[in-house]
Chains A and B, each alone.
Chain A
Amino acid sequence: MAAKRPRRAMPSVTSTPVMVMVLYVADGGPNSIQAQANLDLICKEHLNGNFLLEVVDVLQFPKRALADGIVVTPSLAKSSPAPAVRIAGNLSDQGSVLRALGITAKNP
């Protein structure tokens, strides 16, 4: 199975810039599975398809994670739009994740 799974969810034409993110996971780990589910939910609810997400399985590509300076899994790195942000953990606290990503909760 490919480790890199770039997923592009139907880019809709909006003025807001595309959010570029990388999610580092240890595939199969409970926290990683949870993180993916949580992120999917956030993307669906708040990003309206305007994002670019890459998921890196650290177990398969450890050197990539090393190079990127990842410490724990799961970790989410947002590189664009600025500022770059890192979030460690399974993203269970949606409020803090949204704040970190700079998304104002528009859909309650």
Chain B
Amino acid sequence: MTATRKGTPQPLPKIRTGIAGFDELSLGGLPRGRVTLLKGGAGSGKTVFALQTLVNAARMRHEAGIFVSFEESARQILASSASFDWGLPALAKGKIFLLEANLSPDVVQSGAFDLGGLLAMLQAKKEEIDARWIVFDGIDVLLTLLQDPRAEIREIHRLRDWLAANAVDAAIITAKVDGVGSALMNYGFLQFMADCVVGLERRLEWGVALHRIEIGKYRGSDFVAGEFPVSFGDGGMEIDGPEPSEIRQLATAERVSAGFERLDTMLGGGLFRGSSTLITGVPGTSKTTLSGKFAEAACRRGERTLFVSFDEGAERIVRNLTSVGIELKRYVKSGLLRMYSGRTESVGAEDHLVKLKSLIREHRPRCLVIDPLSAIAKTGGIVAARAVANRFIYMAKDEKITVLVTAINSGDGQEDESTDLQISTIADTWIHLSYLIRSGERNRALTIIKSRGTWHSNQVRELILSEAGPLLADVYTAGGEVLMGTLRWEKEDEERTRELQRRAAFDQQRSALELAEAETLARIRVMEQELARQHAELALYSSGNEAQIASSSDRDKEMRRIRSADPTGGRTVTGKRTAPARRRATNGSGKVAKRGKAESRNGS
């Protein structure tokens, strides 16, 4: 990537431009005491580059500069740079002198002219404000008025001689050069004259304006060759420089929560700090909810967090997440959480990257969410988007930011788990959300496809969104199928019922046994009472019988005595035989045999 020019005895002195990325590409900035040519078509950012360099020099090193504008008036320049936070109006009163060198349309041109007077004026001004920088912006506009190639060359020579004689720290000349044909006829000579040539380009790709920068030549110095994306933020132009080829990222064993406990458990304790996590899934699989949960957990730990969403407003996201118990509003208010919503159609993928970079610089987050990162592939080419996605994840890793990105995948099948952006290979953890459609229901399933350097659950879990936040439920497998939703619920219900039935059966059996026991005991008591009664009866009967026997024998004796006919003893047998029959009739109970026996025993 690096074009090396050997033979320079000592490094060329350079001055930093302060434009993010450019000083890296040019390995130090613009050549000191030399001329730099910025070439590019209309709207390619030449003026911004030049002006920003002056502003940076004035603000960072208090170096004064002169900006000679051949195209725009001072008022136009101030107006068009008002969107940048340069404070140019204030600087234009002191450190930066804006010289309007635009020939007004009222000026009648008659014959040839030269820059002699202008250079004399510039010299005077330079000495007055001790200018170290000088910019000739849009010199082609003036020189083409000469309509004479030789005259143009002559003026360029004049300019070069003047610059050589008037030691300025650096001079920037910008010229409109379109790809098709140069408006400035002697652009080739201008290019030769400059020690450093920087090309800027604005082109349309898929209907999106992309800005590019390329260093075309740099006399006596190395530079990073190639085209690099340019974008415009609040601070002005930013260049997304090349990534270092060596990966220097420190590994940490510190874990941070992925959002909620159950998921952390599935991940073997959470995500590693500084790792990158990818959540994939088709629309509606609650990727944003998981992202929100992660952000909330980070804020709860007191960590600065950046939540970048594409194509959905931050306010709406905060509101929507409230419905599932994720409260982000207070963290937004306290400044801990920064929400940024980007529209993907408006700019190219690289602009998003540059914007994210500046957001990271501003907010200094420890945790970062991008939802969905795949949105950047919507505009511009997919190749560019892939490169950006990769660069982005590497950038976050370099900054030791724990990053969680989501990506929408097109299909619902397992084979579509990978994404268009192909970030699944560089993400450390990959959580996939899917739908399982069975029995007329869509249920969300969460799988951890990979998690580098850590144990993780191999189980599919059902993701349930409740008012208290997302929950992960165990799933049942039946016949090799995962049961979710109602099926899972039914299965759970079935198990519950079975348990209840088992319990009921047990209770029933026990009570039956208890009943039998009680019955037996009761019977025993009844029989004991009966026994006692019989005892009593027996006792009563015995005593009664003896008395009767005694009395009857007395009566017999008495009768025998009275009759004096029969001998005593012969009549006793008959009496014995009639007594049992009479007793049986009065008692009526079935215990005849016993009694009979007892009677016979008594009788004997």
Contacts and interface: CB of A to CB of B under 8 A. Distances in A.
B152 to A, nearest CB: 13
A71 interface: yes
Main secondary structure of the interface of A (DSSP, over half): mixed
Nearest to A38: B111
B118 A73 contact: yes
Interface in A59-80: 59, 62-63, 65-66, 69-75
Main secondary structure of the interface of B (DSSP, over half): mixed
Nearest to A26: B116
A65 B100 contact: no
A58 B112 contact: no
Contacts of A99: 108
Interface in A1-52: 24-26, 29, 31-32, 34-35, 38
A24 to B, nearest CB: 6
B110 A71 contact: no
B98 to A, nearest CB: 12
A90 B121 contact: no
A29 B114 contact: yes
Contacts of A35: 111
Contacts of B124: 62-63, 66
Interface in B99-113: 99-104, 106-113
Interface centre among B103, B117, B145 (most CB of A within 10 A): B117
Contacts of A105: none
Given A89-B112, A90-B112, A24 B106 contact: no
Interface residues of A, number: 35
Contacts of A97: 108, 110
Nearest to B122: A62
B110 A73 contact: no
Given A66-B125, A71-B103, A59 B117 contact: yes
Contact of B108 (A32, A66, A70, A86): A86
Given A65-B121, A88-B103, A75 B112 contact: no
Contacts of A92: 110-112
B204 interface: no
Contacts of A103: none
Contacts of A74: 113, 117
A97 B107 CA distance: 11
B102 A87 contact: no
A88 B115 CA distance: 11
Nearest to A92: B111
Contact of A31 (B102, B104, B114, B123): B114
Contact of A89 (B101, B110, B120, B121): B110
A37 B107 CA distance: 20
Contact of B109 (A26, A66, A87): A87
B142 interface: yes
A72 B108 contact: no
Given A32-B116, A58-B116, A71-B118, A96 B110 contact: yes
Nearest to A100: B108
B113 A31 contact: yes
Interface string B42-84: 0000000000000000000000000000000000000000000
A53 interface: no
B118 A90 contact: no
B110 A26 contact: no
Contact of B111 (A25, A58, A62, A90): A90
A75 B113 contact: yes
B121 A62 contact: yes
Contacts of A66: 99, 121, 124-125
A53 B120 CA distance: 22
A72 B112 CA distance: 10
Nearest to B116: A26
Contact of A26 (B102, B104, B106, B114): B114
Contacts of A89: 109-113
A35 B122 CA distance: 22
Interface string B246-280: 00000000000000000000000000000000000
Contacts of A70: 117-118, 121
B104 to A, nearest CB: 8
Contacts of B142: 71-72
B107 A87 contact: yes
Contacts of A38: 111
Q: Please name the 7 residue pairs, one residue from A and one from B, whose CB atoms are nearest each other, closest first.
A: A73-B117, A26-B116, A92-B111, A58-B117, A62-B124, A89-B111, A90-B111
Interface of B: 99-104, 106-118, 120-125, 142, 145
Given A38-B111, A65-B120, A93-B110, 13 more contacts: A34-B111, A59-B117, A62-B120, A65-B121, A71-B142, A72-B117, A73-B113, A86-B104, A87-B107, A89-B112, A89-B113, A91-B110, A93-B111
5 contacts: A71-B102, A72-B118, A73-B118, A89-B113, A96-B109
